[in-house]
Chains A and B, each alone.
Chain A
């Protein structure tokens, strides 16, 4: 961790792959490179396939089966699960329409997750910057300080947030004692509470990748920019942000995607009056006893996120390629 950072001229171009006259030698090297890539990734992939992706096949199969009377599935083919994701048959007059309850919930989840990501960037970027610009020794201390609150588990952290923002909580008590407000502000059971809770819960997922990217920033680039009379804002936008982009993107993925499926925070802080996707899916697997619908709903979520992610990976790769 304390290895001296060797000074490297960042403007030095990356060495081109060794060019040998014989084409087949280059081919050979390329093959070896790809094989190494696979070998290095293999153990992680093995674990993931065993304990994450593989079992998902079960979910895929379940989404095409009929729901059991008391949860679980019946082994007969049925499109009912998928049908219900997008369409709903009115239970009273039997007309078929768009499943607007599901769409409402979907949209709320996307909206709140995007807002959560933005809040995390707004707070996490300066915080990561602050940590990355401390002296080498104190950096680790600050990094440590940011993770301490997260060593208590999610549920208890969420309960602790509730203590702070509830009607008789610290914030309201302080404000009332100071005479700023006369009656407690209702913060619990609002979208504000959900946003606060999710931003709190996911903040380290933004700060840590950002820090990892900022820590290797070459400040001489920034110095050069200032020498050319660039404003701080310009430096931030034109130099810092592009350089820490991988961290920013990693952080956004880590915050946005889990927020979409968040379950505990909306339930505890949001007061459960308005579901998010995680709660809707849980309802189907739990009290609703409709596993195929739950399976189909989660696969819909998966496909959307997957498409977005692949789209994003392509863009990044293209950018990286054009930079070379």
Chain B
């Protein structure tokens, strides 16, 4: 061991360089987006000097603010629901001997991935319109339900990837020590699954924030999200107002998550 002291088994040639380059590529457009939110000009394409005008415009634009808040609400609900459901499904379908119907479950869970959004959008439009007329309820519930459905596979796959090959011996050991199944799950299995769950929840949240086509078809009056608001502008002109509100959202979410990290570390 001692002669290997300088040999890092975790290093792979070139990996660090590629990873850092990837981060650079990921951040270049985001930095541009933030910069253009301070553009004095009318467009997102032509830099005409620094100004706060788009922040002021966004501050006075009730429609865009509502859309932004609505996006976050829908994404929060949908990602939490999807992650809980996906975790349960992953527990049910991994680490068991293959059983009849397992393939059907896989197929159903992954189905939203396989159908272009426009198709799901049109189908949901027809179903939900009938329900809306029958019940008279036309709130955000439909959007949350639709988003939850297409977020499930995105949450499920990382959780399953984590769960597969997780050693059962620990849970068995816990059971041997007379832990109730629930206690064994909470104290042993769940912590082990956590990285997968976090990855899944993050994906679900991001995917919900991104969705434009399904939302466009499912939304009722006054239910624009930020993406559908922007889709409406696509044909005409996209103003840096969008950049401004996105920058604000970005900083708010970064602040929240950073606070969460700091607090967590103190606890630990």
A residues with a Cβ closer than 8 A to B are 1-3, 5-6, 8, 10, 12, 14-15, 30, 33-34, 36-41, 43-45, 47-56, 58-59, 122-124, 126-127, 129-131, 133, 137, 140-141, 143-157, 159-161, 163-164, 166, 168, 170, 200, 203-205, 208-209, 211-213, 215-216, 219, 222-223, 226, 232, 236, 246-247, 249-251, 253-254, 257-258, 261, 263-264, 277-278, 281-282, 285, 291, 294-295, 298, 301-302, 305-306, 309-310, 313-314, 317, 321
Give the distance in Å from the alpha carbon of A149 to the alpha carbon of B115 in the complex. Answer: 26
Check if B249 sits within 8 Å of A151, measured CB to CB.
yes
Contact flags B188-214 to A (C-beta < 8 A → 1, else 0): 000110111011101100100111110
Give the distance in Å from the alpha carbon of A226 to the alpha carbon of B71 in the complex. Answer: 49
Give the distance in Å from the alpha carbon of A147 to the alpha carbon of B200 in the complex. Answer: 12
Check if B120 sits within 8 Å of A209, measured CB to CB.
no
Give the distance in Å from the alpha carbon of A41 to the alpha carbon of B91 in the complex. Answer: 8
Check if A151 sits within 8 Å of B161, measured CB to CB.
no
Q: Nearest Cβ in chain A — how far from B201, in angstroms? A: 10
Question: Whose C-beta in chain B lies nearest to the C-beta of A137?
Answer: B265
Main secondary structure on B side of the interface with A: helix
- For B166, the chain A residues whose CB sits under 8 A away are 216
- Is B22 part of the binding interface, using a Cβ–Cβ cutoff of 8 Å? yes
Query: Could you say which of A156, A257, A281 has the most chain B C-beta atoms within 10 Å of its C-beta?
Result: A156
A-B contact number at CB 8 A: 339
- Can you list 25 A-B contacts (CB < 8 A)? A2-B264, A3-B191, A8-B170, A44-B109, A52-B111, A52-B120, A53-B108, A55-B124, A123-B18, A129-B15, A147-B206, A150-B206, A153-B227, A153-B230, A156-B243, A157-B29, A200-B29, A211-B195, A246-B160, A249-B161, A263-B116, A263-B118, A282-B116, A294-B118, A301-B115
Counting from the closest, the 5 A-B pairs by CB-CB distance are: A40-B92, A160-B29, A55-B123, A3-B191, A261-B116
Check if A156 sits within 8 Å of B160, measured CB to CB.
no
Question: Whose C-beta in chain A lies nearest to the C-beta of B18?
Answer: A126
Which of B53-61, B132-140, B148-156 participates in binding chain A? B148-156
- For B146, the chain A residues whose CB sits under 8 A away are 51
Q: Nearest Cβ in chain B — how far from A266, in angstroms? A: 12
Given contacts A48-B111, A246-B164, contact A148 B33 (CB under 8 A): no
7 new A-B contacts, CB < 8 A, other than A59-B122, A219-B10, A306-B114, are A36-B92, A51-B146, A163-B29, A163-B44, A278-B116, A282-B116, A309-B107
Give the distance in Å from the alpha carbon of A209 to the alpha carbon of B162 in the complex. Answer: 8
Check if B85 sits within 8 Å of A43, measured CB to CB.
yes
- For B52, the chain A residues whose CB sits under 8 A away are none
Q: Nearest Cβ in chain A — how far from B225, in angstroms? A: 8
- For B268, the chain A residues whose CB sits under 8 A away are 2
Question: Whose C-beta in chain A lies nearest to the C-beta of B144?
Answer: A51
Give the distance in Å from the alpha carbon of A176 to the alpha carbon of B39 in the complex. Answer: 23
- For A58, the chain B residues whose CB sits under 8 A away are 123, 126-127
- Is B238 part of the binding interface, using a Cβ–Cβ cutoff of 8 Å? yes
Partner of A164, one of B28, B145, B238: B28
